[in-house]
Homo-oligomer: A and B are copies of this chain.
């Protein structure tokens, strides 16, 4: 029997020891009339060989188009060593490291992860992970509400340059606690939020403000200026970041601090984001992990697990889960969050990824993304009918406006083997036929040229068909 080691003989012996006649007897406390019938809707079991063949077929029934999609999930190169080590049984099949002495592998690794993540974000403290970037944003907001003793408003400013699906997720999660998320519109020229717009939305008492860098459009926000203003107004700053880009962009722990007054409160108070770019494959959307960092002062408001370094009976260094009094298994209804299982294995991969890449590896990768995206944008915007939506600096994603229906263009590109970007028309109808394109270090110049050529052809074909249907129309009219 698959995965069941019992022989008939053993079963007989075990039943005898228990003192029952059959396995069925062990279920005699369950009311008989409620017992389940055979589960017809579940297919019969298959051998591994059969399932393997099925899964290979299904896996191939997904596109292999060249990926220029980003919008929160990014295709980066992952060194082979990363997942080969991560899926070693000792990491893969261990539980949460509650028995510290038997879990030093996982515990030390998480401590190293926390160290790397604080180094990358320039924040003081990192936890051991949240579910993903979107839910980490929600927890960051809850944390800010708990932490900001100077504010009683439960109002959070959220620019519309924050990933729309993150805003929706945050809403779902903080909603039950009467927290209000106030939208701040962006500047149509730059694709970023301005201090003026923020000020306009923040009449009265505001608890915190969310700032995404690079923002959903790939544009770079004026993080220093906004952070300083927020701190001057007792508003906590929640940075939402792409951690890979923090290898070259100013990290949240260093935002602001430019005015006399703000120097002491320099840096975002909380930083969150999705760890996916650091070693997690696209994998249809997950598992990724949410990163969550904060200033030292907020550590007791932090949700989730935290690993600390300590000593053993002999005074030797060792690692344990710490500050557990924040967590649900101790504090129950008064916990900082209900989170229990997190995304440990992905953090394992991410830690190994960062160790292998080093700061320089991350920097060169981020810079390559930037350069490649610039090249793509240059080539695409040289095509008639394609225009950059915003002036200013974008990182490795850019909004392009098309003189043809975005959906039609994207599906034309797909037919040519190009996953051309994210259609913005639902989330940002004001941008018209706009798409968000993304280029990582994985895309070669050849790939970029292929995209540009495909775009040219698709736009021409659409123009031609419009023309011919126009012509047909006018022919009819005649």
B-binding residues in A (CB < 8 A): 47-49, 52, 77, 79-80, 84, 87-88, 441-442
Across the interface, do A49 and B441 meet the contact criterion of CB distance under 8 Å? yes
Q: In chain B, what residue has the closest Cβ to A49?
A: B77
Could you list some 11 contacts between A and B, CB below 8 A? A47-B77, A48-B77, A48-B79, A48-B80, A49-B77, A49-B441, A49-B442, A52-B77, A52-B80, A84-B87, A88-B88
The 5 lowest CB-CB distance pairs between A and B, nearest first, are A49-B77, A48-B79, A88-B88, A49-B442, A48-B80
Residues on B with beta carbons closer than 8 Å to the beta carbon of A442: 49
Q: Which residues of B contact A87 (CB under 8 A)?
A: 84
How far does the Cβ of A256 sit from chain B's closest Cβ, in whole Å? 35
A52 partner residues in chain B, CB cutoff 8 A: 77, 80
In the assembled complex, the CB of A28 is this many whole angstroms from the nearest CB of chain B, namely: 34
In the assembly, what is the distance between CA of A80 and CA of B51, in Å?
A: 11
Closest to A364 in B: B47
- State the copy count for this chain: 2
Interface of A is mostly: loop
- A55 to nearest B CB, angstroms? 11
Q: Please give the distance in Å from A371's CB to the nearest CB on chain B.
A: 15
The distance from the CB of A429 to the nearest CB of chain B, in whole angstroms, is: 38
A414 to B431, CA, bound (A): 52
CB nearest to A85 among chain B residues:
B89
**Cβ of A443 to closest chain B Cβ, rounded Å:** 11
- The answer for the CA separation of A77 and B53 in the assembled complex, in Å, is 10
Can you name the residue of chain B whose Cβ is closest to the Cβ of A52?
Answer: B77
Q: Closest CB-CB distance, A262 to chain B, in whole Å? A: 38
Chain B residue at smallest Cβ distance from A90: B88
A87→B81 CA distance, assembly (Å): 12
CB neighbours of A80 from chain B (8 A): 48, 52
In angstroms, Cα B442 to Cα A183, docked, is 58
A150 smallest CB distance to B (angstroms): 48
Contact residues in B for A84 (Cβ distance below 8 Å): 87
In the complex, which residues of chain B have a beta carbon less than 8 angstroms from the beta carbon of A441?
A: 49
Q: Once the chains are docked, how many angstroms separate the CA of A140 from the CA of B84?
A: 39
Chain B residue numbers with a CB within 8 Å of A48 are 77, 79-80
A56 to chain B, nearest CB (A): 10
Q: How far is the CA of A80 from the CA of B47 in the complex (A)?
A: 12
Closest B residue to A442 using CB positions: B49
Q: How far is the CB of A27 from chain B (nearest CB, A)?
A: 30
Rounded to whole angstroms, the CA-CA distance of A87 and B87 in the bound complex is: 12
Residues of B within 8 A of A79 (CB): 48
Closest B residue by C-beta to A356 = B48
Question: A49, A88, A441: which has the most chain B beta carbons within 10 Å?
Answer: A49
Contacts of A47 in B (CB 8 A): 77
User: In angstroms, how far is the closest chain B Cβ from the Cβ of A373?
Assistant: 17
In angstroms, how far is the closest chain B Cβ from the Cβ of A409? Answer: 27
- A10 shortest CB reach to chain B, Å: 16
A79-B48 Cα distance, complex, nearest whole Å: 7
The docked-state distance in angstroms from the alpha carbon of A84 to that of B89 is 9
CA distance A88 to B86 in the complex (A): 11
State in angstroms the CA–CA spacing of A441 and B49 once bound together.
9
